[in-house]
Amino acid sequence: MNGWGYVVAAYVGSALLYGTYLTWLLRKERRLERSTGDLQPR
Amino acid sequence: MSWVAPALTIAGKDLRLELRTRDVVASVGLFVLLVVVMASFSFPTTGEGRDAVAAGVLWMAFMFAALLGMGRSMAIEKEDACMDGLLTSPAPRESIFLGKLAANLAFTGVVELVILPVFVVLLRLAPTGGVPLLVLATALGTLGLVTVGTLFSAMAVNTRGREAILPLLVMPVSIPVMIAAVKVTQAAFAGGAGEGTAAWVLLMVAYDALFLLVAIATFPYVTEG
Amino acid sequence: MSTETLPALDEGLADVRPTARAPYRRLLGGATIALFAVLIPMALLWAPMDAKQGNPQRIFYIHVPAAWIGFLAFFVVFVGSIGVLRTGKRRWDDIASSSAEIGTIFTTAVLITGPLWGRPVWGVYWTWDPRLTSYLLLWLIYVSYLVLRGYVPEPSRRARYSAVLGIVGFLDVPIVYLSTRWWRSEHPTQFVFERGGLPTAMLITLLIGIATFTVFYAYLMTVRVRTGRMQEALDEEVFA
Quote ipTM for the complex.
Answer: 0.88
- Of the candidates C188, C15, C21, C26, the one whose C-alpha atom is nearest the C-alpha of residue C92 is C15
CA distance C16 to C90: 8
Distance to chain C for A34, nearest Cα, Å? 10
Q: Higher-confidence residue: C35 or B199?
A: C35
Domain for residue C67, yes or no? Answer: yes
Give me the mean pLDDT over the C148-161 stretch. 91
Domain count, chain C: 1
Asked if residues A10 and C61 have their Cβ atoms less than 8 Å apart, the reply is: no
pLDDT (0 to 100) of residue C14: 44
- Of the candidates B205, B202, B201, B147, the one whose C-alpha atom is nearest the C-alpha of residue B173 is B147
Q: Count A/C contacts: CB-CB distance under 8 Å.
A: 84
Chain B positions touching C137 (Cβ under 8 A) are 172, 175
- Name the closest residue on chain C to residue B152, using Cα atoms: C165
The DSSP letter of residue C50 is: B
Output the pTM of the full model. Answer: 0.87
Evaluate if residue B139 carries a pLDDT over 90.
yes
- Name the closest residue on chain B to residue C149, using Cα atoms: B159
Cβ of A33 within 8 Å of Cβ of C105? The answer is no
Instruction: Name the percent of chain C lying above pLDDT 70.
Output: 84
pLDDT (0 to 100) of residue C34: 96
Chain B positions touching C167 (Cβ under 8 A) are 214, 218
Q: Count B/C contacts: CB-CB distance under 8 Å.
A: 102
Note whether C18 contacts A: Cβ–Cβ < 8 A: yes
Cβ of C164 within 8 Å of Cβ of B221? The answer is yes
CA distance C35 to C41: 11
Cβ of C59 within 8 Å of Cβ of A21? The answer is no
CA distance C88 to C12: 7
* Chain B residues interacting with chain C (CB cutoff of 8 angstroms): 87, 92-94, 148, 151-152, 155, 158-161, 165, 168-169, 171-173, 175-176, 179-180, 183, 196, 199-200, 203, 206-207, 210-211, 214-215, 218, 220-222, 224-225
Cβ of A6 within 8 Å of Cβ of C17? The answer is no
Q: Higher-confidence residue: B57 or C167?
A: C167
pLDDT (0 to 100) of residue B164: 83
Residue of B94, B200, B221 with shortest CB distance to C85: B221
φ and ψ at B89, to 5 degrees? -75, 165
Cβ of A3 within 8 Å of Cβ of C120? The answer is yes
Residue of C17, C62, C105 with shortest CB distance to A41: C17
User: Sorting pLDDT into bands at 50, 70 and 90, what band is C201?
Assistant: confident
The DSSP letter of residue C16 is: -
Evaluate if residue A22 carries a pLDDT over 50.
yes
Touch of A by B (3+ CB pairs closer than 8 Å): no
Q: Higher-confidence residue: C119 or C73?
A: C73
CA distance C110 to A28: 25
Q: Kindly provide the b/e burial profile for residues B78-116, where b requires at least 16 CB atoms within 10 angstroms of the residue's own CB.
A: eeeeebeebbeeebbbbbbbbbbbbbbbbbbbbbbebbb
Distance to chain B for C211, nearest Cα, Å? 30
Mean pLDDT over the full length of chain B: 84
pLDDT (0 to 100) of residue C196: 56
CA distance B64 to C170: 24
Evaluate if residue C230 carries a pLDDT over 50.
yes
3-state class of B22 per DSSP?
Answer: coil
3-state class of C152 per DSSP?
Answer: coil
CA distance B184 to B190: 10
Q: Higher-confidence residue: A36 or C102?
A: C102
Asked if residues C127 and C118 have their Cβ atoms less than 8 Å apart, the reply is: yes
Asked if residues C41 and C124 have their Cβ atoms less than 8 Å apart, the reply is: no
CA distance B1 to C171: 29
Segment C75-133, tens digit of pLDDT: 999 999 999 999 988 899 999 999 999 999 999 999 999 999 888 888 888 887 777 88
Give me the mean pLDDT over the B186-199 stretch. 82
pLDDT (0 to 100) of residue C127: 80
Cβ of A29 within 8 Å of Cβ of C17? The answer is no
Instruction: Name the percent of chain B lying above pLDDT 90.
Output: 31
- Which domain does C172 fall in, by range? 22-48+59-239
Residue of A10, A22, A26 with shortest CB distance to C116: A10
Domain for residue C214, yes or no? Answer: yes
3-state class of C54 per DSSP?
Answer: strand
Q: Which residues have C-beta within 8 Å of that of residue C220, sequence separation ≥ 6? A: A22, A25, C102
Segment C161-179, tens digit of pLDDT: 999 999 999 998 888 777 7
pLDDT (0 to 100) of residue B4: 80
CA distance C90 to C86: 11
User: Sorting pLDDT into bands at 50, 70 and 90, what band is B35?
Assistant: confident
Asked if residues A23 and C224 have their Cβ atoms less than 8 Å apart, the reply is: no
For C185-207, give the secondary structure using H, E and C. CCCCCCCCCCCCCCCHHHHHHHH
Give me the mean pLDDT over the B180-198 stretch. 85
The listed range with the strongest mean pLDDT (B149-163, B167-181, B190-204) is: B167-181
Mutation site, A31, A39, A42, interface C, largest C CB count within 10 A? A39
Q: List the subunits that have 3+ CB pairs under 8 angstroms with C.
A: A, B
Give me the mean pLDDT over the B150-164 stretch. 87
Mean pLDDT over the full length of chain A: 85
Residue of C137, C172, C179 with shortest CB distance to B203: C179
User: Sorting pLDDT into bands at 50, 70 and 90, what band is C153?
Assistant: confident
pLDDT (0 to 100) of residue B173: 93
Instruction: Name the percent of chain B lying above pLDDT 70.
Output: 93
The listed range with the strongest mean pLDDT (B19-33, C9-23, C105-119, C174-188) is: C105-119
- Of the candidates C132, C116, C101, the one whose C-alpha atom is nearest the C-alpha of residue C58 is C116
Q: Which residues have C-beta within 8 Å of that of residue B88, sequence separation ≥ 6? A: none
User: Sorting pLDDT into bands at 50, 70 and 90, what band is B7?
Assistant: confident
- Of the candidates C186, C221, C26, the one whose C-alpha atom is nearest the C-alpha of residue C105 is C221
